[in-house]
Structure 1
């Protein structure tokens, strides 16, 4: 027999217990049982009106059912509290209790497993979830992120795509790369706002951008509605990761196929800087997005999609 705790509310021995026993509130002891929601699954054809009938036989059946459900609910709630207090709580996906209705092998519900997971089980690491190789794409500072992943897990990555992104050499930081063009990019210098979480007498901890200049710097070819969304979502950039120098090897990082997508109307990372990174650290192939600003997913989404699909269809390098 299967008894659902979903629709049970009761007060017992100074405790108010609702639903799955998750709420405990002290009250004076009362004998009160209430039911909400669907009719009992034990009597599928019963109704709320039938429960209020004055027939002695029906009332007796109702009392027997109520007493049984109350006993099982109390037992479940007390067991829940016991495990909760002892730190051994482990919940299955099911929200019901399952009681065998006949002797024989125990049958498991579809949501059960042969062993319930414990909170003390070892956690699965992200790279363990990847069975086949993936294609990584990084934009702007994301180029440094995917470079780091390529160095750590080259066997899990088939291709890496740099979209107007920092494509660094070993021993270089993203800050090193951007400082190459900072002096010549007046708009970037004007838009930068340094933040000092540790005080003005300490080194800056993050960098923000002046919202009044962001449109001309990052979204000079993008639709107005996308710019509005972007301005709401933008957050300061922490400087610590930007200043970290990467250690990249030919055996790991160099074993992954790299592709670069140049954004031709980019005011944040000008074409000259993108070409410089390509020349110093040549990828397998370079693609050009005509008319794209620093955010091609806004300014040229269809063209970007076409290039990404084309790269995905290029045969992977056999290692």
Structure 2
């Protein structure tokens, strides 16, 4: 409480979208809203409203918070003044369709993913590093990759590469696990599937490079992303699966995007879908495929070493 004003009630009564929508056009993006940031000169949608319409974050200027923080930043006022402006009907407010908060099971998967990540250890000297080195990757491995022994099924634990997925607000929103053998090979699992995601990963990215730059390469896997970093010497973010490429949120400073596609029908289909989405945001986008008939960029990297 501040004086006679109930701050929690204000946050409940005024969803972020209702206030932001009064000053700029919002676009629905799954369970989020996107917009050009009204706080700074924004050319593409870098402003995201998430967490059940209770939080916002701008990739362009780095600001974020709740509805009161938005009013404070936009109008350069303090907390009490922002509360008075909201409750005194001194701001344009619009009714927006309700976006439900993540369900309790969904929040539980995010919590579980973060707990696994925090309990994982450094990747150096583990089967996870051995797996990547065995695929011809020699660059320094980023801190978003770790190692753990994780349960698979009821009775056994397997070595796993654990990749952190960061959400639009820069916070952990999930992980991808790649199950391995003790000698750094892919685990022999039913149906051959070794990659499993956990958490709320849509919109997120495995940030193999530490920060957004004006030009960026996107990839559909950790292995291809690291290979592209080695081949091209540029920043790469990886989606936790090719089908997730088009859902990735990119910061406003990223004006040029290169999408590294697998050289098969599915890879090209997902890459074209992502290309069209990012181009619609006003970015320069092109799709590249591996050279010399390689099926993916990791195969190209390995063949370069022969």
TM-score range, shorter chain: under 0.3
TM-score (norm 2): 0.23
More strand by share: 2
TM-score (norm 1): 0.22
**Greater C-alpha radius of gyration:** 1
More helix by share: 1
